[in-house]
Amino acid sequence: MTTSTDHATDRPITLSAPGGIDRSAHHRLDEAWLAAAWSHPTTRVFVVSGGQALVDDTPDGRTELVMTPSFEAPPTENHRYFLGIDQEGVRYFALQKDSLPGRMDQSARPAGLREAGALLSQRDAGLLVHAVALENWQRLHRFCSRCGERTVIAAAGHIRRCPACGAEHYPRTDPAVIMLVKDERDRALLGRQVHWPEGRFSTLAGFVEPGESIEQAVVREVAEEAGVAVGEVEYVASQPWPFPSSLMLGFMARATSSRIQVDGEEIHEARWFSREELRAAIESGEVLPPSGISIAARLIELWYGEPLPRG
């Protein structure tokens, strides 16, 4: 496998671009420091619920997370997650609640990462990704996998401890590979999953299996889903994808065969596209490209040579 770091720096990938936040993990077990940080007047807090937070549109056209000082935040003791510190020393926390708070001015709206990820600043998008990932993990891992007892939150939301057996459980991230496959004619292989709407095409992807390298996962997934053999594999970049807990590892791959035979279970249809064919299909509405916040769109654009047209 070769590695291409220059691809990743061409343009920041939405949801994974640095946002100037230092996670400051060494503070997570310091209860005195956390208490002081929570009560500091510059600290900012937002609520996350069901993968959503409140966002607001500013008069100058920006979209921002709705944040408040800690003394205005809804009360909660257990589901308070420390997210980090910015370059100005502002501390950020997220609160997990069963529902989002109302807003007296009625201008804010609830939004998830798919709706707002491309609109938010790098800082706000990074904070929301962190909070949503923690919320998903917290909701799904309330009991000890070793003994079955209910666990308690520790380390400012980044550990769950079992009071019965002493086990510590950490947030889970599932590695998945996502790849743009090219053939000898420099065409791109795009597929449509069985549950996607008609015309929606994207890169192939799949989870890394136990005991498997990421390179092996790329080769296996392409063969399983599209029946295409892959040789050279080049790493491009990664993207956190907390839906609910994935880390997408992006690749460019070179096919050694061009015959397509879809599995019919995950992939309903797959096609080779030249750049001209893809442009025409998008502009006519025949093909719907992947979301602009996804690394899939970036991989296609790296091959395409410029931002994708939007029909």
Q: At 249, list the tokens.
A: 């590892």
Strand spans (E) along the chain: 2-3, 44-48, 52-57, 63-65, 68-69, 80-85, 91-96, 109-112, 152-154, 159-161, 168-169, 174-182, 188-193, 204-207, 230-241, 246-255, 267-273
Question: What single-letter DSSP state applies at residue 173?
Answer: -
Please, what CATH class does the domain formed by 172-302 belong to? alpha beta
SS3 of residue 275 by DSSP: helix
Q: Note the pTM of the prediction, 2 decimals.
A: 0.90
| pLDDT computed for residue 102 by the predictor | 76
Segments of the chain assigned to CATH 3.90.79.10: 172-302
- The CATH architecture to which 23-167 belongs is Alpha-Beta Complex (3.90)
- DSSP labels for 214-261? HHHHHHHHHHHHH---EEEEEEEEEEEETTTTEEEEEEEEEES-----
Closest CA to 66 of 55, 82, 75, 80: 55
The pLDDT of residue 153:
96
pLDDT for position 13: 78
Q: Decide if 189 contacts 267 (C-beta within 8 A).
A: no
**Tens digit of pLDDT at every position of the chain (311 positions):** 544 444 433 566 778 767 889 999 999 999 999 999 999 999 999 999 999 999 999 889 899 999 999 999 988 767 999 999 999 999 999 999 999 987 656 789 999 999 999 899 999 999 999 999 999 999 999 999 999 999 999 999 999 999 999 999 999 999 999 999 999 999 999 999 999 999 999 999 999 999 999 999 999 999 999 999 999 999 999 999 999 899 999 999 999 999 999 999 999 999 999 999 999 999 999 999 998 899 999 999 999 999 998 76
Q: What is the largest CA-CA distance in the chain?
A: 62
2, 15, 38, 110, 300 from 101: Cα distances, Å? 48, 24, 19, 10, 39
Class of residue 51 by CB neighbours under 10 A (exposed 0-12, middle 13-18, buried 19+): buried
